[in-house]
Amino acid sequence: MSKKLSIIGMPMDLGQMRRGVDMGPSAIRYAGINERLKPLFDNIHDLGDIPIGRPEVVVDKESNLRNLDLVAEKNELLAKKVDEAIQSGSFPLVLGGDHSIAIGTLAGVAKHYKNLGVIWYDAHGDLNTAETSPSGNIHGMPLAASIGLGHPALTDIGGYSPKVKPENIVIIGARSLDEGERALIKETGIKVYTMHEIDRMGMAKVMEETISYFKDKTDGVHLSLDLDGLDPNDAPGVGTPVIGGISYRESHLAMEMLEEAKIITSAEFVEVNPILDDKNKTASIAVGLMGSLFGEKLL
Across residues 250-279, what is the average pLDDT? Answer: 98
234 belongs to the catalytic site:
no
Q: Is domain 4-293 classified as CATH 3.40.800.10?
A: yes
Q: How many CB atoms lie within 10 A of CB 59?
A: 11
Specify binding-site residues for Mn(2+). Answer: 99, 122, 124, 126, 226, 228
Q: How far is CA 222 from CA 9, 175, 262, 263, in A?
A: 17, 21, 12, 9
Picking from 180, 174, 266, the residue whose alpha carbon sits closest to that of residue 218 is 266
* Mean predicted lDDT score pLDDT of the chain: 96
Give, as one character, the DSSP assignment of residue 189: T
What backbone torsions phi and psi does residue 118 show, to the nearest 5 degrees? -135, 125
Confidence (pLDDT) at 53? 84
228 belongs to the catalytic site:
yes
Picking from 47, 50, 38, 51, the residue whose alpha carbon sits closest to that of residue 6 is 47
Asked if residue 254 lies in contact with residue 211, where contact means CB atoms within 8 angstroms, the answer is: no
Across residues 66-82, what is the average pLDDT? Answer: 95
271 belongs to the catalytic site:
yes
151 belongs to the catalytic site:
no
Which residue type, as a one-letter code, is found at position 90? S
Which residue type, as a one-letter code, is found at position 184? L
Angle at 219 between CA 2 and CA 248, to 5 degrees: 65
Specify binding-site residues. Answer: 99, 122, 124, 126, 226, 228
The answer for 136, left when phi > 0, alpha when psi is -120 to 50, beta otherwise, is: left
199 belongs to the catalytic site:
no
Beta strands in the chain (DSSP E): 4-10, 43-49, 91-96, 116-121, 169-174, 191-194, 220-226, 264-270
Which residue is catalytic, options 228, 250, 259, 277? 228
To the nearest 10°, the Cα dihedral for 244, 208, 141, 125?
-30
Which residue is catalytic, options 76, 99, 231, 277? 99
Picking from 198, 263, 207, the residue whose alpha carbon sits closest to that of residue 230 is 198
Confidence (pLDDT) at 200? 98
231 belongs to the catalytic site:
no
46 belongs to the catalytic site:
no
Question: Is pLDDT at 61 greater than 80 in this prediction?
Answer: no
Higher pLDDT, 174 or 17: 174
* 245-258 tens-digit pLDDT: 999 999 999 999 99
126 belongs to the catalytic site:
yes
Percent of the chain with pLDDT over 70: 100
Q: How many CB atoms lie within 10 A of CB 62?
A: 8
Q: How far is it, in rounded angstroms, from Cα 245 to Cα 180? A: 22
pTM of full prediction above 0.75: yes
Q: How far is it, in rounded angstroms, from Cα 299 to Cα 296? A: 9
Asked if residue 153 lies in contact with residue 203, where contact means CB atoms within 8 angstroms, the answer is: no
Which residue is catalytic, options 13, 76, 124, 181? 124
* 122-181 tens-digit pLDDT: 999 999 999 999 888 999 999 999 999 999 999 999 999 999 999 999 999 999 999 999
Which residue is catalytic, options 226, 256, 277, 296? 226
